[in-house]
Amino acid sequence: MAKSWSQRLLINGKPFNIGLGSYPVITLARARELVLQNRQAVAEGNAPWTPPDAVPTFAEAVDTVIAERSTSWKSSKPRNGGGPEWTPTPFPPWEKSW
């Protein structure tokens, strides 16, 4: 059976189990330090884990990829007055089909 440290916290009334690490990599003293840090973070209104905004949104990821790789792409024609054809526009120009 693997030995590991975990902590149970109530955050906004919801229970969370947070893994602190496995023994002997994480000693009892270090586990206690982590527990204290997590409790302090919750008391200050912060989440004791990586905040969700650390993960980019899809739009941010698209902008990053276009900025990093667009120099190697070829554009066959400009779009909407000079922008490359692979750059998304917020609202494509729809034409009425009726």
CATH of domain 1-72: 3.30.160.390
Nearest to 7 by CA among 36, 27, 47, 29: 36
Cα–Cα distance for residue pair 10/42, rounded to 1 Å? 9
Q: Where are the chain's structural domains?
A: 1-72
Whether the Cβ atoms of residue 75 and residue 84 lie closer than 8 Å to each other: yes
User: Mind listing the pLDDT tens digit for each residue in 64-81?
Assistant: 888 888 777 766 555 555
* Whole-number pLDDT of residue 72: 78
pLDDT tens profile 18-46: 999 999 899 999 999 999 999 998 888 88
Q: What are phi and psi of 44, to 5 degrees?
A: -85, 0
Read off the pLDDT of each residue in 50-71 and give the average, rounded to a whole number: 77
**0.85 cut: is pTM over it?**
no
Question: Which of 53, 51, 20, 56 is closest to 38 using CA atoms?
Answer: 20
